[in-house]
A = this chain, B = another copy of it.
Amino acid sequence: MRAGLQISWQGIRDEVLRRIRTREWPPGARIPGEADLAVEFGCARATVNRALREVADSGLVERRRKAGTRVSLHPVRKATLDIPVIRKEIEARGARHDFSLILREEAEPPARIRGRLLGTPGRACLHVTGLHLADGHPHAFEDRWIDIAAIPAARDADFTRCSPNEWLVQNIPFEGGDISFAATRADAAMAQVLECAEGDALFVTERSTWRNDRGLTTVRLSFAPGYRVHAGL
């Protein structure tokens, strides 16, 4: 047993961060190996490993076998943001969520959508649009394409009460996806739906999800003016 107090991996992580912050370990410098640090902190190497892995995940150090661990020269900050179901997001603000279905059709998607779905020309897709409301006010316009061949159950789904956004999250587990954020101006149709002025700046997200390298669905969400996404660093 050890004489001193037990040290946690969080404690080691904090100490490592402190040494980086104070330039005791300057950018680009190689820091001691796990074994050395384990001796210094009087703990097992696994504990040091856990701590350094966390620091590496945050991007502040880079680790490579044989080369050791180095303080990053150009730390890439990583922000993690939660993307909740829209209903949850609205209810978390204490508002009531409703979804109003606008369009539901089976059609061949335009090339841009087909590319995102990784689909082949001629394949039928389900095209659904609708409006998410917060306490009766427009919150976001959802424009979604679903590959029916990949998700046959979608054909029978009732999107009049449950938005595609929520239905898919609950029914279709996916493996991967990507999301992008941008700003666009509201055109006349969008302005009418979102009850905003034409030309207003809208926050827009586009998401695609897939499973087994097969595109499942792609969606464009246009949020009413004033929407803002937050994330920690």
A179 adjacent to B230 (CB under 8 Å): yes
A81 within 8 A of B: yes
Taking the complex as formed, is A1 at the interface, i.e. its CB lies under 8 A from any CB of chain B?
no
A80 CB to closest chain B CB, in angstroms? 5
Determine, out of A71-79, A117-125, A146-154, the stretch whose residues face the partner at the interface.
A71-79
Question: Given A170-B27, A201-B202, A179 and B83 touching (CB < 8 A)?
Answer: no
Minimal Cβ-Cβ distance residue in B for A170: B27
With an 8 Å Cβ cutoff, the count of chain A residues facing the other chain is: 50
Q: Indicate whether A230 sits within 8 Å of B178 (C-beta atoms), given known contacts A183-B201, A201-B183, A202-B183.
A: yes
A161 at the interface (CB under 8 A from B): no
A183 touches B209 (CB 8 A): no
Q: Mark A16-44, 1 if CB is under 8 A from B, else 0.
A: 01001100000100000000000000000
Check A82 for interface membership: any CB of B closer than 8 A.
yes
Q: Let me know if B233 and A207 touch, CB within 8 A.
A: yes
- A185 within 8 Å of B by Cβ? yes
Q: How far is the CA of A232 from the CA of B81 in the complex (A)?
A: 11
Interface of A is mostly: strand
Residue interface mask A70-96, B partner, CB < 8 A = 1 = 000011111111111100100000000
Asked if B180 contacts A231 (CB within 8 A), the reply is yes
- Which residues of A106-157 have CB atoms within 8 Å of chain B's CB atoms? none
Question: Chain B contacts of A85 at CB under 8 A?
Answer: 74
Does A177 sit at the interface, judged by CB under 8 A?
yes
| Residue A8 interfacial (CB < 8 Å) | no
Residues of B contacting A175 in the complex (Cβ-Cβ under 8 angstroms): 17, 21
Chain B min CB distance to A209 (Å): 7
Looking at the complex, which one of B83, B178, B200, B229 makes contact with A182 (CB distance below 8 Å)?
Answer: B229
Query: Which partner residue on chain B sits nearest A209 by CB separation?
Result: B233
Listed A/B pairs (30) with beta-carbon separation below 8 Å: A17-B175, A21-B175, A74-B84, A74-B88, A74-B169, A75-B169, A76-B82, A76-B88, A77-B84, A77-B177, A78-B80, A78-B82, A78-B83, A79-B81, A79-B179, A81-B231, A178-B230, A178-B231, A178-B232, A179-B230, A179-B232, A179-B233, A181-B229, A182-B203, A182-B227, A183-B184, A185-B199, A185-B200, A199-B199, A201-B201
